Amino acid sequence: MSVVSALGDNMMWVALMGSLVCWIFGNHFGRRVTLMAGALIILIGAALQAAAVNLAMLIVFRIFAGFGIGVLTSIAPPFVAECFPTRLRGFLVSCELLIGSSGLCTSFWVAYGSSFVTGQFAWRFPVALQCIFPIISISLLCFLPDSPRWYVEQGRIEEAREILVRLNGEKEGERVLQDIQDALVLEGGAQDGKSWLTCFKNNDQCFRYRTFLSIGSLFMQQFTGVNMISYYSAVLFQNSIGLSANLSLLLSGANGLNSLFWVAVSTLFLIDRVGRVRLMMFTAAIQAVEMAVLAAVLHYVDQSRTYGIVGASMLFLFFCTFSVGWLAPSWIYPSEITPLAIRASATALGSASNWIFNFVVVEITPAGIANIGPNYYIIYAITNALCVPMLYFLYPETANISLEEVDSLFADRKIFDAVNQAIPRLVHWLRDVFDEEMKPISDPWKTPMRGVGLVIAYTIACGVAFLLFGYDQGVMGGLVNSPYFLEVFPSLASNPSLLGTTVAIYEVGALIGSLVCSVVGDLYGRRLTLVVGAAIVFVGAALQAGSVHLAMFIVFRIVTGMGIGVLTSITPAFHAECVPTKLRGSIVSCQLVLCAVGLTSSFWVGYGSSYVPTQFAWRFPVALQCVFPIVTIVLLCFLPDSPRWYVEQGRIDDARDLLVRLNGPIEGENVLQDIQDALALEAQTTVKSWFDCFKDNEQCFRYRTLLSMGSLLMQQMTGVNMISYYSAVLFQNSVGLSANLSLLLSGFNGLNSLFWVSFSTLFLIDRVGRVRLMMWTAATQAAQMAVLAAVLHYVEESRNYGIVGASMLFFFYATFSAGWLAPSWLYPSEITPLAIRASAAALGSASNWVFNFVVVEITPSGITNIGPNYYIIYAITNAICVPMLYFLFPETANLSLEEVDSLFVGGKVHVRRSPWEKVAHAGPLTKRPVEGDLRIDNAEKQFAA
């Protein structure tokens, strides 16, 4: 293996030397001549490698070819970038990388085909084939002029004008020529580029910073671990995963095709639309997960072939993700971010850094796999994860702006202005603290979406967070009876109380997360809080899946619960504040539909995994939770925060921009005014802590906080999570069905829930109203629980009683999904005032988790000790909910959040009964607008209907 490493290492060192030589001569002789020289060097090196008769000759001429490769990779990207119009630059420069991927793919298949040939032709032909490509390159370059920007740099203005007019047309060509001349003047002229030390000058054009960006993008590319796979893919498939030599070589070739397809997708659809930096950042996060999963499954590859299949899939997925997000952007970026005066030198330095760390990766991979085994891949999981904040904090986006416009980002040392597209709110806050003269920067990455598209984007982002919540709610139901789960945690099999605690401890974490969210939800904003919550869930779920003893599993189940507590506290309020009034009920309820999707998915994933005869049967369903928080974080990066939170923070322009995009210019201004009026009214009572939620003031903070807590407390006391968590146990132990049939019915119960929550969202939530739905379905659920308790007393006498019992569980879940799943979560985000919305919603979520814990904790013991009579408890609690809802809970359907405030004006509560009832208490927020105002016209038409 050391000889194999040496062959790769020597080429890389000399490629580094080629990059450094290019650094010196790239500006002097021009891009085209330098490229031709590099291609000629490769031609000579490849020809003599193919003719090598001993190892020394092979190594020497591999070094020679590597020198040429270093020259080409240094000068080709800036040459191509400088020769294309701005609007086509990303796409066409990516085509260069697409062809590079074609070369990689071709090399795999040529090697595979040659492996069937006996004799030295099997290796000499693939090596000699390299000679074709430099001949083509040299031939084409003979017919092409040099870069127009290099011509300007050399004072050859007429030649630059001619090529720019041919590329862009006469008018645009003249404009680009002027931009290039202006940029050179700004950069101090071409004379600054004579010494490579110029790249590290900290001048007005930020040469040093931009050189480090060039070096950094290609440095990080290597530390994704891609060349571990490119160079050793066949070795990895064979030694790490345990496949045959022939199959390993075949899969390496297929992986090349995989790369070719995905870099083509990136080139055609993503490189300009998504942007260079975003693509690298998002895919780095995904690659970190893929490497972590690969490391985990390879620990068990000897136990089952299934783990080997998952490991091979992770290698494929990694190469796919890298090809989409890194192969093109990481090479394009240095040629765009560097100024003309040092472009050749700075991109050569970037290429040099790439080759240095290429050497490091290729050198340590064989020894790393041999010595630390699967844990070696954890290194790349960590390095990929580290790339995300570096890209987010430091790298400005270059897509869709000319190279001269990139220069303007750095004019007069405006480094922070160049980066502010990607600096999170925390850094803005730090800038405000340490530099009082600086104005707060608007929200980063403002999406161009508006109207329905923007509403849908918010709905997906919030919905995936609740999909995760639903999945987490149901995932344990498929595990508690799994023999492979109990094999790792045997004490759970004989101790129902410990089992209940293990399942319910998640709710304790969620309670902690909810209470923390009540403190920080208003301080840092809804969006940032959601991102943090999703990140906590990711960490907790990953380490739950890797648990080796019960204590570890319980600890990280608490961590996961904390993240879920944050998500469930802030998501409904965030979503409700970001959608128009007329759509709020249905749209916000969509997140509960996705919650049902998650719950259903957890049942079926558990059922499918039960057929796998290894620990994969429980580790995979738990690990699958990691997917959803990544999606949530990625989506939230594209979206601004809540407009109501912006107003609360004094960021009126940001709020206006968002409200206009959501509602249109006229209605957007009206909503903004309503929010400001509501805040002015609530500001009469200073809100400093969550204790203020319980102040009995003019806006009835205490009453409304108790309503928020009450709807989610009652939701738990319906008994729903008795079914969500223990459905398979109930079907098996209470109804008397087989283990397999019980698990299958749990899956169908999830589909049952999904159908009815979708039906409620589409047809009931706004027409019937939130409170009416909960009240009527609570009455129905009380009857269902009473019937269930009655028939289960006789389940041993006849199979028919068991069928009726199973039917009641199905009917209960359908009724709950139609009447409680969406309204109980939607109601707290509507009934609470803006000043305490995050805190009161968090307290509501906390009350939910407290009683969730109680239900999940006592259910195993309750069923064991009092049998069918246990269900009588929930018949009673459902019945109690009906009068409480009728007498205490005002209806919020079809009112704006500011109109809901008017139900509580003057310290008095108006219990609105119908979703079509006019607001009777017309306080300051509901005074009639001027005649002709669209709000009153629309309201009159609505109430007349």
Mean pLDDT of 206-211: 85
Q: What per-residue confidence (pLDDT) applies to 417?
A: 43
Residue with tokens 């869709």, as numbered in its chain: 400
**pLDDT surpasses 70 at 249:** no
Q: How far is CA 855 from CA 381, 467, 718, 757, 784, in A?
A: 38, 22, 10, 22, 18
Nearest to 27 by CA among 338, 402, 395: 338
Instruction: Work out the pLDDT band at 182, boundaries 50, 70, 90.
Output: confident
What pLDDT score does 94 carry? 61
What pLDDT is attached to residue 24?
62
Q: What is the pLDDT of residue 4?
A: 46
Query: Which percentage of the chain shows pLDDT scores above 70?
Result: 78
Range with the lowest mean pLDDT among 458-472, 522-536, 599-613?
Answer: 599-613
Q: Report which of 318, 163, 307 is spatially closest to residue 243, judged by C-alpha positions.
A: 307
206-230 exposure pattern, b = at least 16 Cβ within 10 A, e = fewer: bbebbbbbbbbbbbbbbbbbbbbbb
Confidence of residue 92 (pLDDT cuts 50, 70, 90): low
What average pLDDT does this structure show over 247-261? Answer: 69
Is 783's pLDDT higher than 90?
yes
Task: Record the tokens describing residue 341, joined without a space.
Answer: 């005066």
pLDDT at 844: 81
Residue 12: band (very low, low, confident or very high) from pLDDT cuts 50, 70, 90: low
Among 52-61, 111-120, 316-325, top mean pLDDT goes to 316-325
C-alpha 337/C-alpha 206 separation (Å) is: 11
pLDDT for the residue 248: 65
> Is residue 440's pLDDT more than 80?
no
In angstroms, how far is the first alpha carbon of the chain from the final one?
A: 80
Assess whether pLDDT exceeds 70 at residue 193.
Answer: no
Say yes or no to pLDDT of 707 above 80.
yes
Instruction: Answer whether residue 416 shows pLDDT above 60.
Output: no
Instruction: State if pTM tops 0.95.
Output: no
Cα separation, 713 vs 628, in Å, equals 26
**Tens digits of residue pLDDT in 594-607:** 877 887 788 778 77
Instruction: Say if CB 593 and CB 754 are below 8 A apart.
Output: yes
Least confident range of 73-82, 391-400, 697-706: 73-82
Once rounded to an integer, what is the mean pLDDT over residues 250-257? 68
- Region of poorest pLDDT, from 124-138, 270-284, 415-429: 415-429
Select the more confidently predicted residue: 524 or 521: 524
Instruction: Lowest mean pLDDT of 92-96, 129-133, 439-443, 702-706, name the range.
Output: 439-443
DSSP state of 187: T
Domains annotated for the chain, with CATH where assigned, are 2-82+84-146+187-423 (1.20.1250.20), 451-939 (1.20.1250.20)
Query: Does residue 880 have a pLDDT over 90?
Result: yes
Three-point CA angle 473, 475, 476, nearest 5° = 90
pLDDT of residue 815: 92
> What is residue 585's predicted lDDT score, i.e. its pLDDT?
66
pLDDT in tens, 342-377: 776 777 777 777 777 777 777 777 777 777 778 888
pLDDT (tens digit per residue) in 855-878: 877 887 888 788 888 889 999 999
Of 3-12, 353-362, 786-795, the least confident: 3-12
Query: What does the DSSP assignment read for 204-241?
Result: TT-HHHHHHHHHHHHHHHHTTTHHHHHHHHHHIIIIIS
Rounded to 5°, angle at Cα 605 from 601 and 608: 140
pLDDT for position 941 = 43
Model pLDDT, residue 689: 60
pLDDT of residue 502: 81
Residue in the structure block whose two tokens are 């039917």: 807
**What is the per-residue pLDDT for 349?**
77
> Is the model's pLDDT at 402 over the cut of 60?
yes
CB-based contact 66:18 (threshold 8 Å): yes
CA atoms within 13 A of residue 757's CA, in its CB half-sphere:
31
The residue with greater pLDDT, 372 or 138, is: 138
Q: What is the DSSP letter of 719?
A: T
As a whole number of angstroms, the distance between CA 581 and CA 578 comes to 9
Of 606 and 161, more confident: 161
Summarised one tens digit per residue, pLDDT across range 642-662 is: 888 888 888 888 888 888 888
At residue 27 the predicted structure's pLDDT band, cuts being 50, 70 and 90, is: low
Nearest Cα neighbor of 252 from 265, 238, 264, 270 is 238
Question: 């970001």: which residue's tokens?
Answer: 578
Q: Is the pLDDT of residue 418 over 60?
A: no
Give the per-residue pLDDT at 238: 65
Helix (H, G, I), strand (E, B) or coil at 312: helix
pLDDT tens digits for 149-159?
788 888 888 88
Q: What pLDDT sits at residue 586?
A: 67
Q: Find tokens 């009161």 and name the residue.
A: 840
What pLDDT is recorded for position 241?
59
- Specify the pLDDT at position 430: 33
**What is the arithmetic mean of pLDDT over 785-791?**
89
Using CA atoms, how far residue 511 sits from 560, 718, 852, in Å, is: 11, 19, 10
* 26/828: higher pLDDT: 828
Distance of CA 783 to CAs 750, 789, 792, 795, 799, Å? 21, 10, 14, 19, 22
Instruction: Give me the pLDDT at residue 945, please.
Output: 39
pLDDT at residue 884, rounded to an integer: 92
Does residue 518 or residue 377 have the better pLDDT? 377
Q: What is the predicted pLDDT for the residue at 714?
A: 92
Q: How far is CA 580 from CA 374, 526, 895, 942, in A?
A: 50, 17, 10, 15
- Coil, strand, or helix at residue 293? helix
Closest among 505, 514, 507, 560 to 534, alpha carbons compared: 560
Q: How many helices (H) and strands (E) does the chain have?
A: 41, 0
Average pLDDT, the chain: 76
What distance in Å separates the CA atoms of residue 922 and residue 899, rounded to the nearest whole number? 9
